[in-house]
Structure 1
Amino acid sequence: MPPALTRALRGTLAGLWAERLARAFWPFTALLLLVAAGLGFGAQDYLPPLWASIAAIVLLFALLGALLHGAWRLQPPFPADAAQRLDQALPGRPLATLGDQQAIGAQDAASVRVWVAHQARMQARLAHVTPVRGDLRLARFDRFGLRYIALTAFTVSLLFGTPMRVVEISELAQIPGRAEAVALGPSWEAWVQPPAYTGRPSLYLNEVDRARLELPQGSRVTVRFYGQQGVMSVHEGLSGRVDPDTTDMAQDFDIENSGRLSIRGPGGRDWEVAALTDQPPVVRLDGVAQRERGGLMRQDFTASDDYGVVAGKVHIDLDLANTPRDFGLAVPPEPRDALTVALPLPVSGSRVEFSDAFIEDFSQHPWANMPVTVALQVEDARGQQGQTEPHAMTLPGRRFFDPMAAAVIELRRDLLWSRENARRAGQLMRAIGHHPQDAFRGVEARIRFTETRDLLLASLDDGGLDGATRDDLAQRMWDLAVLLEEGELADARERLRRAQERLNEAVRNGADPSEVADLMDELREAMRDYMRQLAEQPRERGEAPPDGESIEITQDQIQQLLDRIQELMDEGRMDEAAQLLAQLQELLENLQMAEGQGGQGMPGNEAMEGLGDTLRQQQDLADDTFNDLQDQFRQNDGDDPASPDDLADRQRGLADQLRELQLPPLPGEGTPEGDAALEALERAQRAMEDAAQALEQGENSEALNRQADAMEAMRDGLRAMNDALTQDQRERQQGEQGARQGADGGRDPLGRDRNQGGEVGTDQNMLQGGDTYRRARDLLEELRRRSAERDRPEAELDYLRRLLDRF
């Protein structure tokens, strides 16, 4: 027999043994692992001694039964079984072939040669044969995966349990009388587990030699007695237990106060335990609540706890006693739950003591800008709470400086205060909408106001204002107020004028510094847009210069004036700031850009001008449509509404005009900005065509909605074109800057000569004059201001940063 065949037969026989042993004894193995896991986790400690002994006997019989059942099912494999398994795994069954005899043709020489060749081929296959592995898959025998459950439990008990306690099964299996006879003597174990949030380790009292212990309040004490019950006992004054069984073999209690812990009996011990009291958390307000930009509320606070704060809340309730009860607030308010918002806690780091800020936006809440009481509450891991006294304040929220926007917000507040104000709010809105063209600047605001008013009046006619409709109206009125406050203007000059008005209103009303800062930022942005638009106006447009003396002013001078206004506001000198604002407004009315501050006309200016004209015409048409709709509602015989056909023809004419604007090259074609502009114009054209169709059908309300969509799309197109032109101008300026640097390589960006040795600048004092220090300070401030302007060329910004680092 070839050696390879011998090894293959032995390996296959071993695989058969493993296969049949696994199938016969897997129930016994699984049960044994489960019993070991239970003992490792100390399951016997939770049963009375008698029940533990009964359970141990039952488990032992179950293990014995599983073992006997496995032995009965086991069928030992023999070498013939291994040969058959190996032969079945080989192609052609070579082992059976080698034992066969030629049945026919034994007298034919050719047939004999074929038979011999066949046996030789089968013999060759056995030269490199390998053993066949046993089939250890037990899924069809253990359909519920009990063996995996047992193995997992046993592994976990090895990692987190007490594996050495597995030997206790032999003790539990003994009957009580015999256990007392063979017991070596009474013994005890005790350990203390402090609460997890304290971070302290467990304490094994058998190994503690100290007579005094300091343990956190809430620590869990576990005591176990072994041997005859009644020999040992535990006495303690820590938990406040009432009439405990001191001789119980298993005792658990929590430390609630200081006292004495005694284990009496053979090998007993005594400890004086000092309970470390877990103090409740503390929280306090730091300063008063501030109104941040955008109307956000910011309240600084500090919280602390001996083991760390785990949760916190902010409770805000209406201070009805200090609320002015006039106008819409004169009626009793509807019941409303107090505001409860989670207090921010550090995500990482210690929470033992920390300072943070609570920032939330309550602008849309009915109590915004009204007297409230605020209380902060924190909680520790033990469930103890600490809180501040209710602090009276005005709940910060967004403020509206546009008179119409402020009026809409006040009506919204009255509706949310009580639905009894619904009829009064409807009457006020009816009065405001009597001449809407005088009350609202834009058609979109008129449309939204009319829809909101009609919804309110319709709900009153239907029998009353329900809660869902009231909330819908509140959201509509908020959106309308934001639209009125921020405006829907696309022209830079109008945005600038609007920003000035809002800032003047804020200064006169004594707005918060954060609100003034917001409005100053808005004014600066509107100023930059307007100056850029003015600088991009080409002289070829043929505009006549203004009569009389013209004012030339640079953008830097405008920025210096704005900086001075900001400085006066920061110092609280509002009257002087208001005077400078008035001078700025007068200056801008006669503004002409200084020579050199402008630039050549950019490609696509004509398209923007045409789009602006189309937008103004669309606004006029929307106004006429709205007036015609109002006339239809009033049914006034003295008024002559515009013909629907005339309005529809004008609308189609504007659609054709917009289509022609898309034919010439638009600014930034091929760029994301240019593609956005083209998409916006196509959207506006579709809206115009839908509006014309609605006008032909006499649906003026639907036409107004489509006209509003068209105007919004055209504004998006104007913004996208402006972005494209700005990008083109920036790229052109960078190219010109590079050309100037190449042509004037002997001077630095400040116009100073470069030294031949490669050192920048000169030793000569450039600040000639008497007040050298003041001029130096002004120059440093100018460097800082220019370095903050991100639209400057990168080479210049880099040089400015290096100058600031040096000086």
Structure 2
Amino acid sequence: MAATPGHDPRLATLRWPLMLTRSGMVAETLLRAFWPLASVVMLALATLMLGLHELLVVELVWAGAVVTFLSGLVALIWGLRHLHWPSREQAIMRLDETLPGRPINALLDDQAIGSEDAASAALWQAHKIRMTARAAEARAPSPNLKIAASDPFALRYVALLAMVIAVLFGSIWRIGTVRDMTPGAGIAMTGPTWEGWLQPPRYTGLPTRYLNDVEGDALRLPQGSIVTLRFYGQAGALTLAETVSGRVEDLPSAADAQQEFVIAQAGELSIKGNGGRSWQVDVIGDLPPQIAVSGQPEIEPDGTMSLPYAAEDDYGVVGGEVRIALDLLALNRRHGLVIDPDPRADIVLDLPLPLTGDRRAFNDFLIEDFSQHPWANLPVVYTFSAQDGAEQTSFAAGFGAPLLARRFFDPLAAAVVEQRRDLLWSRANAPRVAQILRALSHHPEDQFRNPSAYLRMRMILRRLESYVAAGFTQERQDEIATALWDLALLLEDGDVGDALERLRRAQERLSQAMKDGASDQEIAELMQELRDATQDYMRQLQREAEANGEMMDPGDMPDDMMQLSQDDLQAMMDRIQELMEQGRMAEAEQALQELQEMMENMRMTNAQPGEGGSEGQQAMEGLADTLREQQGLSDQAFRDLQEQFNPGARSGESEGNQGRNGGLGQGQSHEGGQGGQSQQGQQGDGPEGQDEATGEGGGSGGSQTQGDSLAERQQALRQELQRQQNGLPLGGSEDGAAARQSLEDAGRAMEGAEQALNQGDLAEAIDRQAEAMERLREGMRSLGEAMAEQQQGQSSNQTGRNSASQGNRTDPLGRDTPEGRDGIGDDGSKIGEGSAYRRAWDLLEEIRRRADDRERSDGERGYLQRLLDRF
């Protein structure tokens, strides 16, 4: 039978596991018995550490203390009744339960029978040895501290949370203030006391001051500051007297324990009684904000207007607005602005404020894009207003200036934008706008560079005329205005495929900008556009000359032919920009015209005129022919679409009707030569084989037949491009890959044009053909650059004739490179050719620079000016 455990030596190895097990059981018993008492104690301490008793009247505090004491007493009694101290035997049983086979109980047992039998005794001894080894592996089990069954509402966690908050945000020293709430205790020790705080308005950004620490008897406080006072001690021992709040009604008692009021005026503030003080209060008034326009509006290159302004306030500006109203008195009422405008609300914008930094005094900009507003570039009045934290609002004087917005320098785009403005000015202008748009589209060949732009204008015109007939509502007005704006952007910024046409367009826009008095930013943007267009034109000129085998040998050039280098062109454009910046627009326009003539008369030169038949040049020539063929198809499709809008026109009779081969009135079906024969062969010889573009003899089916003919030609051209693409020497360079991708895109665009022609959708076909031409140009450009890289990558041991060719190489404008002419320059050349022209230009620029230098003497500047006048 089992022996009494006591301090049995058989359990010596289990001393620590048994001690830990019993400790865990004690913890379980204490927690289950005294968790209500611990919760009451934690709640009481948290309340005192947070100072909640200071916010309540004494009676409530003592009532709460009594309730807390009684709750704690009840919890203590309940805990003592439920307290059951664990014994050593219970600890042994708890530990033994964690082991398999109950080895501890086995160690405490004795052999009941067979002790005299040696075999039985040996077996019992082996069993005890095995149980001893198993008991040595005992580990104290974790105590079970879960008491959710006893506390289903988790009140212990509420008390614990309150205690944690008190430790973090409270103070243990506040517990001692309870003794001051004993009746008569505080008065007996310290007598009556007071505390005070001065809190300025939040918008001032000033800190709160502790009134007890203020030295002296004078206070300077911002208007609107809040004064808070607390009186401690016997009621009536301290009283308040003040004349700063301006209160005349609903005055609280001067002896109230807590006083709070707002500083509204200067006066006196006194605390009367034992330990009281008095101050003379001076109020710091809040000044209203100030705001004004600080400069003239400026237009950015992207069409955004920037208007500077300055604002200040003693504590900082917190808001405001900008109101923009049309200035009818300053408006030149002509054309579409003669009639009275439709009612339109003023433009109201929030005042832009700096996101960071001090707002007491700052300079900022009103930046907005008004390009699509009906008042764009019309005179308006800007009225700025600012508001401070005290809700005081100040208004700046009205500032009259134009509502700057994007300007259009393409004449046709500018005309479209003007009609859009007139349409938005008043819906009564709709018939007049329709007439002007019809006049603009009367001779499209003289106005429109892009067929898509003409088609878009005709669509807008038809829709506008239908709206005028049916009733021109505001929704339709906005719809037409949006369409006109998109058309103007297409006319102004639309992609022009030909490099020379882009160059001419950039020059025309720059010239128009000089005449219109454009801003410096606009001039700089247009000047950069001219530089880019010039670069593109030179690259295209070189590629076309190499592809067509038209490169000239410098030795064969006439003596009087001027050669220009890249530096010469750059210097000329720099001079044009400098003249514009100096305000000498007439001279700048003359120099711009000279530059245009030089660019159009340029010829490309090459020291190896016989290399035009190389594989790469033949490929370039084939792509150039494909491009011309595609241009011819696009021209004929555009002519057919134009004749649909003008059914009375006759094929070949429209002035300026240019077909693929470039002759006036000589479209593919207008020519009497080879083109006409080819067309007749496609159409047949009968009465229905007349020129189907005229619509004569074919009835309603003529147009469809012509469309089928164009589709077949488009298909043949696409197949020809595919054949050329398969034989191109593209190589593996990046430019070669770009050329391959561009030509594939061109093929897909041709396929889209073919489908549109089969469906009779000429407008869609023209768009796809324009895309195909653009992709072809990109492919030719990339192919040319890939060929140039291949030529540069040739090894020096394989030069031979190529080395001599590179020695005599010329640049894209016909000038010798520094390695040209066997390394010998043309310093002995005459003025107007070679590097002598460059030196003369540099010398003239230096004379102009020195003549404009104000720091030089009048005599020297006069001499330089006479040189300029003479030469």
TM-score, L = length of structure 2: 0.72
Partner of 1:485: 492
Output the CA distance in 2 between the equivalents of 1:167 and 1:405. 86
2:574 — aligned with what? 563
How much has 1:685 moved relative to structure 2?
Answer: 2.7
Give secondary structure in 2 for the equivalent of 1:646. helix
Stretch deviating more after TM superposition (385-394 or 543-552):
543-552
Give the Cα–Cα distance (whole angstroms) in 2 for the partners of residues 23 and 729 of structure 1: 94
1:586 to 585, 590, 597: 597
Tell me the equivalent position of 1:791. Answer: none
User: How big is the shift at 1:265?
Assistant: 2.0
2:309 is aligned with what amino acid? F
Deviation track 1:553-583 (CA, whole Å, cap 9, x = no partner) reads 1111111111111111111111111111121
Please state how far the C-alpha of 1:679 moved relative to its aligned partner: 3.9
1:659 is matched with 722
Map 1:292-371 → 2, pairs under 5 A: 292-329=300-337, 330-347=339-356, 349-371=357-379
- Unpaired stretches in structure 1, ≥5 consecutive residues: 734-738, 744-748, 752-770, 782-807
Whether 1:475 and 2:482 are equivalent positions in the alignment is yes
User: 1:98-134 CA deviation, whole Å, 9 max, x = no partner?
Assistant: 4578999999998987776565455335446544444
Task: Please report how far the alpha carbon of residue 677 of structure 1 lies from its aligned counterpart in structure 2 after TM superposition.
Answer: 4.7
Deviates more, 1:645-654 or 1:544-553: 544-553
**Aligned equivalents of 1:678, 1:327: Cα separation in 2:** 53
Question: Runs of 5+ in structure 2 lacking a partner?
Answer: 1-9, 651-693, 696-702, 796-802, 808-816, 820-838, 850-871
CA deviations on 1:262-312 (whole Å, 9 max, x unpaired) are 112221111223333333333332221112222221222333333334445
The equivalent position to 1:534 in structure 2, one of 509, 532, 541, is 541
Question: Counterparts of 1:632 and 1:82 in 2: how far apart (Å)?
Answer: 109
Partner SS for 1:367: coil
- Measure how far apart 1:256 and its partner are: 3.3
How far apart, CA to CA, are the structure 2 residues paired with 1:486 and 1:291?
18
Q: Distance in 1 between matches of 2:767 and 2:148?
A: 68
Give the equivalent residue in structure 2 for 1:689.
Answer: 751
Which residue, 643, 647, 650 being the options, matches 2:710?
647
Read off the aligned partner of 1:318 and give its amino acid letter: L
Q: Which residue of the partner structure matches residue 226 of structure 1?
A: 232
Distance 1:24 1:619 in 2: 100
Q: Does 1:550 pair with 2:561?
A: yes
Alpha-carbon distance, 1:41 to partner: 5.6
1:421–1:70 CA distance, 2 compared to 1 (3 A): farther
Aligned position for 1:521 = 528
Q: Among all aligned residue pairs of Structure 1 and Structure 2, give the percentage whose two residues are the same amino acid.
A: 43
Q: 608, 616, 621: which one pairs with 2:633?
A: 621
Q: What pairs with 1:19-168 in structure 2 (closer than 5 Å)?
A: 43=52, 79=88, 82-90=91-99, 94-96=103-105, 98=107, 120-127=129-136, 129-134=138-143, 164-168=173-177
- Which has the larger displacement, 724-733 or 643-652? 724-733
Return closer, same or farther for 1:307/1:629 CA change in 2, 3 Å cut-off: same
Deviates more, 1:485-494 or 1:681-690: 681-690
User: Would the alpha carbon gap of residues 698 and 566 (structure 1) be closer, same or farther in structure 2, given more than 3 Å must change?
Assistant: closer
Paired with 1:144 and 1:726, the residues of 2 have a C-alpha distance of: 86
Is the alpha carbon distance of 1:588 and 1:146 closer, same or farther for their aligned partners in structure 2, counting shifts above 3 Å? Answer: farther
Residue-by-residue CA offset, 1:54-108 (whole Å, 9 max, x unaligned)? 6666666667677777777776655555545544555665445545789999999
1:788 alignment counterpart: none
Opposite residue 482 of structure 2, the aligned amino acid is Q
Q: CA deviation at 1:169?
A: 5.6
Alignment of 1:453-468 (within 5 A): 453-457=461-465, 459=467, 463-467=471-475
1:495 paired residue number: 502
Bigger drift between 608-617 and 507-516 goes to 608-617
SS at match of 1:240: coil
On the 8 A contact 1:551/1:590 being kept in 2, the answer is no
Select the residue among 379, 382, 395 that pairs with 1:374.
Answer: 382
The SS at the match of 2:422 is: helix
92-101 or 296-305, larger mean C-alpha shift = 92-101
Q: Per-residue CA shift, 1:579-626, capped at 9, x if unaligned?
A: 11121122222123577999x999967666655654554454344434
Assess, with a 3 A threshold, how the Cα gap between structure 1 residues 337 and 374 changes in structure 2: closer, same or farther. Answer: closer
Q: Residue 500 and residue 109 in structure 1: after superposition, are their counterparts in 2 closer, same or farther (change >3 A)? A: farther
Once the two structures are TM-superposed, the CA of residue 373 in structure 1 deviates from its matched residue by 1.9
Report the alpha carbon displacement of residue 646 of structure 1 after superposing the two structures with TM.
Answer: 1.0
Residue type of the alignment partner of 2:716 = G
Q: TM-score, normalised by structure 1?
A: 0.77
In 1, Cα distance between the equivalents of 2:416 and 2:151?
73
Q: 1:228 to 1:525 in 2, by over 3 A?
A: same
Given residue 487 of structure 1, which amino acid in structure 2 is its aligned partner? G
> Matches of 1:208 and 1:371 in 2, distance apart?
58
* Cα distance in 2, alignment partners of residues 143 and 666 from structure 1: 86
Distance in 1 of aligned mates of 2:83 and 2:764? 87
Q: Tell me the distance in 2 between the aligned counterparts of 1:358 and 1:270.
A: 51
Question: 1-side partners of 2:83 and 2:818: how far apart?
Answer: 99
SS of 1:502 mapped into structure 2: helix
User: Which residue of structure 1 lines up, in the alignment, with residue 511 of structure 2?
Assistant: 504
Q: Partner amino acid for 2:750?
A: M
Q: 1:241 aligns with which of 231, 242, 247?
A: 247
1:602-613 alignment runs, 5 A limit? none
Distance of 1:24 and 1:457 partners within structure 2: 95
CA distance change for structure 1 residues 341 and 100 in 2, over 3 Å: closer, same or farther?
farther
Q: Name 1:11's counterpart in structure 2.
A: 20
* CA spacing shift, 1:712–1:475, aligned 2, 3 Å: farther
Aligned CA-pair RMSD: 4.8
Structure 1 residues 662 and 323, CA gap change in structure 2 (3 angstroms): same
- C-alpha change, 1:613 and 1:438, in structure 2 (3 Å) is farther
**What do residues 200-256 of structure 1 show as CA deviations (whole Å, max 9, x unaligned)?**
443222233322223333333221122333332222233333442122212222333
One-letter amino acid of the structure 1 residue matched with residue 315 of structure 2: Y
Partners of 1:531 and 1:555 within 8 A in 2: no
CA deviation string 1:683-708 (max 9, x = no partner) = 44334323322322334455455445
CA contact (8 A) 1:622 1:707 kept: yes
1:289 aligns to what?
297
Structure 1: distance between partners of 2:395 and 2:309: 11
Partner of 1:263: 271
Task: Write the letter of the residue equivalent to 1:368.
Answer: A
The CA distance in 1 between the partners of 2:781 and 2:71, in whole Å, is 83
Alpha-carbon separation, structure 1, partners of 2:75 and 2:636: 96
CA distance in 2, matches of 1:675, 1:25: 84
Deviations 1:712-733 (A, max 9, x none): 6556656766787798899999
1:344, 1:358 within 8 Å by CA — same for their partners in 2? no
Structure 1 residues 750 and 663: alpha-carbon distance in aligned structure 2, compared to 1, 3 A threshold: closer
Q: Distance in 2 between matches of 1:521 and 1:633?
A: 39
- 1:440-455 paired onto structure 2 within 5 Å: 440-455=448-463
Partner-residue secondary structure (3-state), 2:496: coil
Larger Rg: 2
Task: Decide whether the 8 Å contact of 2:299 with 2:521 is kept in 1.
Answer: yes
